[in-house]
Homo-oligomer: A and B are copies of this chain.
């Protein structure tokens, strides 16, 4: 059994929904379909979800709302007309929206939650109606009916563990189940949404719940690339990568997924297949727990700038039990999250995203480190980029470090920092931000130029 999720751009118009229909029908294992709200049809189009937020805010402000309401209904109607689905479903959607709008508004946050979630909810109804109109057995299944319970955290709801047993029972249902993404219900019966990319989260939870063989995630790219296409022209695609590799890559700008979305599937060991709705015959990229290493030690290269380093040295620091812990404690008290902590014998460098600190915070942090840790030197360096060279194959490959370092040296790039832990699934190089693109290109040339895609 496969759980298949389609994003907003895959459902933005009747033409797109037809593609979805064909994709789902082409494989009888595709039993559970998770849908987003209709997304953008062209680059300055407005997503239905954003229209719903405007409508909700207008309601709360006591303004007239008929124009906003009609604009939303129009989006659904256009899709329904294009697909020749009976307008009864549009009446149902209008009724549903008017019913939400007439709800108690004493808790405006919960009101907006319900309004936002209706985008996915009503789209699921529309798509189920379309499948039915084509004589396919399909059922709209609401998260409430499925038993998808979540915590009471608006915009950041967390699945409650008991949901998984409820969801397992979906296996007994016949036909294709169309489930709206993005939200669940609290035990009190309120609608609560997940964090961003919430439909990915729903798909991942469902894949775990029904113990799917595969979680297919349809987007609008053919695959995950070995390197950012805005840095290297036409980079090679990745066919298969592990969860760990995906995480290491996505960390530095490779965000096909919002990472948290995959946790439920990851925990259940379910592979995720990234595919393109607009090019479903492309092989896509598969994210797995383990893979054979067939393509050289490195699977991808990611990079990001906007980092700074705090360098601290103190004679005999190495002898002081607790020095590192006290340093991290100070950063924690400023609510600063750090990335890496490379160290020498008597020095330690903390690498963190520089947008976390304004000049005043910076001064305060330096002062506290000097005062409380009696450091000899505390220096901040700005405008650094981190480059992650990622690949499970590095683990057993003598010489990967040497190749990477040589590629950078040959390109005349100074390595400010290196960090490679014993997991050996990645290697981090810190360079000056202005060297970032040249560094990535040099590493790509070293590891991929001669490898067939």
Which residues of A come within 8 Å of B, CB atoms?
A: 243-244, 247-248, 251, 259-260, 263, 266-267, 309, 311, 313, 315-316, 318-319, 321-322, 324-325, 328-329, 332, 335, 337-349, 381, 388, 396, 398-399, 401-402, 404-406, 408-409, 412-428, 430
Alpha-carbon separation in the docked complex, A212 to B129 (Å): 92
Cross-chain contact A344 with B266 (CB below 8 angstroms): no
The complex is assembled from copies of this chain, and their number is 2
Q: List 13 A-B contacts (CB under 8 A).
A: A248-B345, A324-B338, A340-B342, A342-B420, A344-B425, A345-B426, A398-B413, A399-B405, A399-B409, A401-B418, A402-B405, A404-B405, A422-B430
Alpha-carbon separation in the docked complex, A347 to B340 (Å): 10
Alpha-carbon separation in the docked complex, A269 to B341 (Å): 29
Q: Which of A251, A311, A337, A413 has the most CB of B within 10 A?
A: A337
Cross-chain contact B342 with A332 (CB below 8 angstroms): no
Alpha-carbon separation in the docked complex, A343 to B430 (Å): 13
**Min CB–CB distance A241 → chain B (angstroms):** 14
Contacts of A430 in B (CB 8 A): 422
Cross-chain contact A417 with B409 (CB below 8 angstroms): no
Closest 4 CB pairs of A and B: A399-B409, A402-B405, A325-B328, A349-B421
Instruction: Name the residue of chain B whose CB is nearest to the CB of A424.
Output: B416
Cross-chain contact A421 with B343 (CB below 8 angstroms): yes
Cβ-defined partner of A415 (8 Å) among B401, B406, B409: B401
Contacts of A263 in B (CB 8 A): 315-316
Alpha-carbon separation in the docked complex, A414 to B398 (Å): 5
Known: A405-B402, A413-B398. A421 touches B344 (CB 8 A): yes
